[in-house]
Amino acid sequence: MKQLFVALALMAGLGAGFQDEKVPGLIAEFYSIGEGMEDFPTVDPERKPTLRRLDKQVNYESTPQAFAGTTLTDHFYARWTGFLKVPKDGKYTFFTESDDGSRLWIDDKQVVDNGGLHAMEEKSGEIELKAGDVPIKIDVFENEGEAGCKVSWEADGLPKEVIPEKAFLHRKDKDLDK
């Protein structure tokens, strides 16, 4: 009996270890919505994404064709989740430039609101951050026409740039990280 407990405790420990480990990239989830939208759709949390993959950054120029290596052209929703590596304490400005609407959250606080129907358009927001890893979420929806999404940051001593690959992490995923 004691051996069984030890085995279970070990398995639980290993499971947690795998999940806790952070590795480069963001988890990207794409949903085909199948009808026109004027703002962010509500996606059933139980619904499986049309496509789930890892993305190194969010840096997609506007295109009238399929978006970012997917087969989705119109009427879709995409979400990127993971962690942002904040290099040092300070005030950060985040920017999303998107077609159509996009939003950005840090640690469940919405920092950028760039919603609604529009061509490539940039909006920004500011937040005070401490050095370390903070949860980040970005989402975008595409109604019709062109679609694109680029996410940048800027801070004291950090000129505005598309957030680089090295700043994104996600918790190791059993399907995406083998």
Q: Can you say whether the dihedral through the CA atoms of 64, 67, 73, 76 is positive or negative?
A: negative
* Of the candidate residues 62, 73, 81, 93, the single one contacting Ca ion (CB under 5 A): 73
- Give Cα 113 to chain centroid, integer Å: 15
Q: Which is nearer to Ca ion, 72 or 84 (CB)?
A: 72
Q: Which is nearer to Ca ion, 15 or 36 (CB)?
A: 36
Q: Which is nearer to Ca ion, 97 or 100 (CB)?
A: 100
Q: Does 74 bind Ca ion (CB under 5 A)?
A: yes
CA nearest neighbour of 150 among 62, 59, 81: 59
Q: Which is nearer to Ca ion, 21 or 61 (CB)?
A: 61
* Of the candidate residues 99, 149, 151, 169, the single one contacting Ca ion (CB under 5 A): 99
Q: Does 70 bind Ca ion (CB under 5 A)?
A: no
Q: Does 147 bind Ca ion (CB under 5 A)?
A: yes
What's the closest the beta carbon of residue 97 comes to Ca ion, in angstroms? 13
Tokens of residue 40, six digits: 């962010």
- Distance (Å, whole) CA 168 – CA 153: 12
The residue whose two tokens read 């999404």 is 149
Tokens of residue 68, six digits: 């970012």
* Of the candidate residues 100, 115, 139, 163, the single one contacting Ca ion (CB under 5 A): 100
Tokens of residue 91, six digits: 């005030």
What's the closest the beta carbon of residue 63 comes to Ca ion, in angstroms? 8
Say if residues 119 and 144 touch (Cβ distance below 8 Å).
no
Q: Does 78 bind Ca ion (CB under 5 A)?
A: no
- Distance (Å, whole) CA 79 – CA 74: 15
Q: Which is nearer to Ca ion, 16 or 66 (CB)?
A: 66
CA nearest neighbour of 31 among 14, 9, 47: 47
What's the closest the beta carbon of residue 120 comes to Ca ion, in angstroms? 9
Q: Which is nearer to Ca ion, 136 or 147 (CB)?
A: 147
Q: Which positions touch Ca ion (CB under 5 A)?
A: 73-74, 99-100, 145, 147
